[in-house]
């Protein structure tokens, strides 16, 4: 009973971590603007980079990334409650998903957040460190020549389950399902970007 209560507390904390609207608070505190009313209207690192500048964009990216890492790390406090490593991994994945949901639907910003790419990247780096590095490489290889953050993110999202399942031969069904759902959710979150990419009017990042 106590363990169930603690798990619930953990999930609430993961959601609250994810709900920290980094770009929104940073924009309002330092620039006096609601970033959701400028640029793409997205409360994420890419729009912060575009609207607020490089330093703000990097700051938002790092903090949003660390939200995902922190949610997974916090799950470690409950490790001794699990009977098997598989159960603990499942709880880590759930904590990461809840933090990701918090970023997309933050309670501190009227449930209007960002796409959650940076936060999910933090989750993936904590649970799948080697796959994360490969996906980061995929993102970079696509982003640098195209200058489309969205295209790089989509490529990395698609690569994620492919490497988890076929390259690293992951046997845990929870990790396989997580990788597939992550790819699907991230692709869905970028549906408007995909439309703009097809039409040729997606915003590029200027170096």
pLDDT attached to residue 204:
86
User: Percent helix, strand, coil in the chain (nearest 5)?
Assistant: 80, 0, 20
Q: Could you tell me if 148 and 204 are in contact, meaning their C-beta atoms sit under 8 angstroms apart?
A: yes
Q: Which pLDDT band holds residue 101 (cuts at 50, 70, 90)?
A: very high
Residues 33 and 129: their CA atoms lie apart, in Å, by 36
Q: What is the pLDDT of residues 15-54, one digit of tens each?
A: 999 999 999 999 999 888 889 888 888 888 888 988 998 9
Q: Mean of the per-residue pLDDT values for the chain?
A: 91
pLDDT attached to residue 175:
95
Q: Give residue 13's Cα distance to chain centre.
A: 16
């Amino acid at each position: 009973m106590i363990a169930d209560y603690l798990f619930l507390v953990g999930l609430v904390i993961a959601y609250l971590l994810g709900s920290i609207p980094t770009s929104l608070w940073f924009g309002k505190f330092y620039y006096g603007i609601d970033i959701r009313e400028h640029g793409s209207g997205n409360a994420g690192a890419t729009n912060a980079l575009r609207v607020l500048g490089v330093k703000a964009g990097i700051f938002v990216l790092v903090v949003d990334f660390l939200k995902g890492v922190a949610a997974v790390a916090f799950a470690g406090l409950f490790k001794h409650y699990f009977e098997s490593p598989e159960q603990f991994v499942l709880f880590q994945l759930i904590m990461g998903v809840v933090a990701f949901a918090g970023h997309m639907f933050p309670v501190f910003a009227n449930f209007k957040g960002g796409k959650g790419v940076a936060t999910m990247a933090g989750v993936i780096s904590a649970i799948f460190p080697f796959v994360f590095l490969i996906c980061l490489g995929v993102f970079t290889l696509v982003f640098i020549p195209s200058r489309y953050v969205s295209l790089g993110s989509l490529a990395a999202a698609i690569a994620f389950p492919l490497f988890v399942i076929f390259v690293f031969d992951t046997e845990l069904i929870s990790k396989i399902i997580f990788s597939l759902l992550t790819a699907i959710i991230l692709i869905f979150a970028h549906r408007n970007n995909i439309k703009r990419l097809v039409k040729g009017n997606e915003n590029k990042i200027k170096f």
